[in-house]
């Protein structure tokens, strides 16, 4: 992009303000993984000098740049700048959580073939609990080339880009680490977008008269909805509701370490939670089995669900062999119909395999989650594939089928029947098509033959 000298004249400021709220736990690491051996957790939350957790402005701007690039690549340079021509128009402040609750999450790497935990691949990390809120402020610096030729009005494509970023923040984005496993989901509450037009003397005085001019004080309020779609057309989304047809137990090891000899269901506040890592791990393992049955190579799975690389191999850089996941799973919070859920303490005995008698000191207490009426949907599962191909859509439909029919169990103690689900309702969106499935699996909205074609596309894909 070529810019003339007079085009660099400062003509205005656009201010975006609102409250950023966490819809899922947030992890922004402090970068001290090498010191983990001397600390209680593998990853600690990034904090400022006052001990407050925060999201660096660089993290936010990086995500926004990627989102705009997926919808309007030609506008990325004008809004976010480039090394060769111009600086970024965006000024982003750190997002500081004045009040937040610290939680701990853990995970383990599962062997793709054996389905068991891998030696030395257990990890623990801190996170900020969902519900935390922080003030968000973005300032866009507009110059003459951002205006329509011969006028003092913002160009349509520039305004659309700024409105898109506001609308995308309001709809929800992912920030921080482990975003493909549902963490870092946030949305902007009550966004206000104001334009300080420096052709207007009142706006100039308002901007210069205070240290931090508010968006609400600008003479022009940008309230129109942007023309860009919030999602790329090749984004595939499944939002499904299930009932528990057996008990569910995703164990909270933090509670057991505090001295309670009982396996308790993991909670987030008052609601039971199925972590995104649990859901994605199960789906990845089943996807691997499906692809092997069809004779496809594992690189299709790595391209879809990501690959962390082989830590045992000597690689030239920390990023070599790594692939970012395009398969995003949201955490599932069991908040709807709480009257249907109960958590009784269940006592079990360990039996000697030879004598068939009870072993001494082998009394097991668990507190799984049960559902009273399995015709009521209590579990919501949502996953998204970015830049999805028809073959990948077909694979996702097979995964939905296995969840729907209770053939794919979630959580722990699945060998004794826990974690099975029953499909109640599902919505599927891909390109311009929308499909709705009811409890019996019948497609009530959309053409079922189109879904069958996607399933066939996976089977036709060359190995």
Residue 40 in domain: yes
Q: Do 277 and 133 share a domain, yes or no?
A: no
Mean pLDDT of the region 213-230: 91
Mean pLDDT of the residues in the chain? 87
Distances (CA, A) of 228 to 48, 225, 233: 36, 9, 11
Residue 230 in domain: no
Q: Do 273 and 330 share a domain, yes or no?
A: yes
Stronger pLDDT, 174 or 150, i.e. the higher one: 174
Residue 412 in domain: yes
pLDDT at 37: 47
Res. 260: pLDDT tops 70 = no
Q: Do 363 and 434 share a domain, yes or no?
A: yes
Per-residue pLDDT reduced to its tens digit, 275-314: 999 999 999 999 999 998 888 777 889 999 988 765 544 4
Q: Do 306 and 190 share a domain, yes or no?
A: no
Q: Do 157 and 241 share a domain, yes or no?
A: no
* Beta-strand relationship, 263-264 and 358-367: parallel
For 261, counting Cβ atoms within 10 Å of its Cβ (0-12 exposed, 13-18 middle, 19+ buried), the class is exposed
Q: Which of 1-15, 128-142, 227-241, 443-457 has the lowest mean pLDDT?
A: 1-15
Contacts of residue 202, Cβ cutoff 8 Å, sequence gap at least 6 = 219
Stronger pLDDT, 426 or 259, i.e. the higher one: 426
Q: Do 322 and 413 share a domain, yes or no?
A: yes
pLDDT at 84: 80
Per-residue pLDDT reduced to its tens digit, 49-69: 899 999 999 999 999 999 999
| CA atoms of 240 and 403, how far apart (whole Å) | 10
Q: Do 340 and 420 share a domain, yes or no?
A: yes
Per-residue pLDDT reduced to its tens digit, 56-106: 999 999 999 999 998 999 999 999 988 887 889 999 999 999 998 988 887
Q: Do 136 and 88 share a domain, yes or no?
A: yes
pLDDT at 111: 74
pLDDT at 261: 57
pLDDT at 316: 45
Q: Do 240 and 211 share a domain, yes or no?
A: no
Is the CB of residue 24 less than 8 Å from the CB of residue 183?
yes
3-class SS letters over the chain: CCCCHHHHCEEEEEEEEEEEEECCCECCECCCHHHHHHCCCCECECECCCCCEEECHHHHHHHHHHHHHHHCHHHHHHHHCCCCCCCCCEEECCEECCCCCEEEEEEEEECCCCCCEEEEEEEEEEEECCCCEEEEEEEEEEEHHHECCCCCCECHHHHHHHHHHHHHHHHCEECCCCHHHCCCEEEEEEEEEEEEECCCHHHHHHHHCCCCCCHHHCCEECCCCCCCCCCCCCCEEEEEEEEECCCECCECHHHHHCCCCCEEECEECCEEEECHHHHHHHHHHHHHHHHHHHCCCHHHHHHHHCECCCCCCCCCCCCCCCECCCEEECCEEECCCHHHEECCCEEEEEECCCCCCEEEEEEEEEECEEECCCCCCCEEEEEEECCCCHHHHHHHHHHHHHHHCCCCCCCCCHHHCCCCEEEEEEEEEECCEEEEECCCCCEEECCHHHHHHHHHHHHHCCC
Q: Name the pLDDT band for 191 (thresholds 50, 70, 90).
A: very high
Residue 227 in domain: no
Res. 317: pLDDT tops 80 = no
Q: Do 64 and 142 share a domain, yes or no?
A: yes
Residue 55 in domain: yes
Q: Do 178 and 316 share a domain, yes or no?
A: no
Instruction: Quote the domain boundaries for residue 442.
Output: 236-460
Residue 43 in domain: yes
Number of domain units in the chain: 2
Final residue in a domain of this structure, among 221, 250, 273: 221
Predicted TM-score (pTM) of the model is 0.85
Per-residue pLDDT reduced to its tens digit, 8-43: 789 999 999 999 999 999 998 876 654 444 456 677
pLDDT at 128: 93
Residue 387 in domain: yes
Q: Do 285 and 141 share a domain, yes or no?
A: no
Residue 121 in domain: yes
Stronger pLDDT, 125 or 261, i.e. the higher one: 125
Q: Name the pLDDT band for 427 (thresholds 50, 70, 90).
A: very high
Count of beta carbons in the 10 Å neighbourhood of residue 117? 12
Stronger pLDDT, 314 or 402, i.e. the higher one: 402
**What Rg, from alpha-carbon coordinates, does the chain have?**
25
Final residue in a domain of this structure, among 221, 252, 273: 221
pLDDT at 163: 96
Q: Name the pLDDT band for 364 (thresholds 50, 70, 90).
A: confident
pLDDT at 362: 74
pLDDT at 158: 94
Final residue in a domain of this structure, among 164, 197, 221: 221
């Amino acid at each position: 992009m070529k810019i003339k000298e007079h085009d660099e004249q400062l003509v205005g400021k656009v201010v975006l303000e609102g409250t950023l709220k966490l819809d899922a736990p947030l992890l922004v690491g402090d970068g001290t993984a090498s010191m983990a051996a001397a600390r209680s957790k593998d990853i600690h939350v990034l904090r400022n000098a006052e001990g407050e957790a925060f999201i660096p402005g660089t993290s936010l701007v990086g995500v926004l740049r990627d989102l705009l690039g997926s919808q309007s690549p030609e506008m990325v340079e004008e809004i976010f700048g480039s090394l060769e021509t111009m600086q970024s128009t965006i000024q982003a402040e750190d997002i500081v959580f004045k009040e937040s609750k610290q939680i701990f999450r853990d995970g383990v790497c599962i062997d793709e073939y054996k389905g068991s935990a891998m030696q030395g691949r257990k990890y623990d990390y801190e996170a900020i609990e969902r519900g935390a809120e922080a003030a968000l402020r973005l300032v866009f610096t507009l110059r003459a080339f951002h205006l329509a030729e011969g006028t003092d009005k913002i160009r349509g494509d520039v305004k659309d880009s700024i409105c898109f970023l506001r609308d995308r923040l309001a709809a929800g984005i992912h920030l921080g680490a482990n975003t493909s496993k549902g963490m870092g989901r946030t949305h902007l509450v009550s966004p206000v977008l104001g334009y300080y037009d420096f052709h207007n003397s009142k706006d100039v005085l308002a901007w210069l008269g205070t240290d931090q001019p508010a968006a609400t004080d600008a003479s022009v309020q940008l309230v129109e909805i942007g023309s860009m779609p919030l999602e790329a057309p090749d984004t595939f989304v499944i939002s499904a509701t299930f009932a528990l047809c057996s008990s569910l137990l995703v164990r909270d090891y933090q509670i057991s370490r505090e001295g309670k000899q009982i396996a308790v269901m993991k909670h987030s506040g008052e609601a039971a939670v199925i972590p995104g890592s649990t859901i994605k791990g199960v789906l990845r393992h089943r996807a691997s089995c499906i692809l092997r049955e069809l004779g496809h190579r594992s690189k299709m799975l790595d391209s879809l669900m990501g690959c962390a690389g082989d830590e045992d191999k000597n690689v030239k850089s920390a990023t070599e062999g790594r692939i970012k996941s395009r398969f995003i799973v949201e955490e599932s919070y069991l908040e709807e119909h709480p009257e249907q859920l109960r958590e009784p303490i269940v006592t079990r005995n360990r039996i000697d395999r030879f004598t068939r008698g009870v072993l001494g000191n082998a009394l097991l207490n668990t507190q799984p989650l049960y559902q009273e009426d399995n015709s009521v949907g209590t579990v919501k599962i949502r996953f998204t594939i970015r830049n999805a191909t028809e073959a990948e859509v077909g694979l996702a439909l097979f995964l939905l089928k296995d969840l729907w029919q209770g053939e794919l169990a979630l959580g722990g103690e699945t060998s004794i029947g826990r974690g099975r689900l029953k499909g109640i309702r599902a919505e599927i969106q891909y390109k311009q098509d929308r499909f709705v499935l009811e409890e019996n699996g019948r497609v009530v909205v959309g053409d079922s033959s189109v879904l069958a074609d996607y399933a066939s596309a996976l089977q036709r894909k060359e190995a």
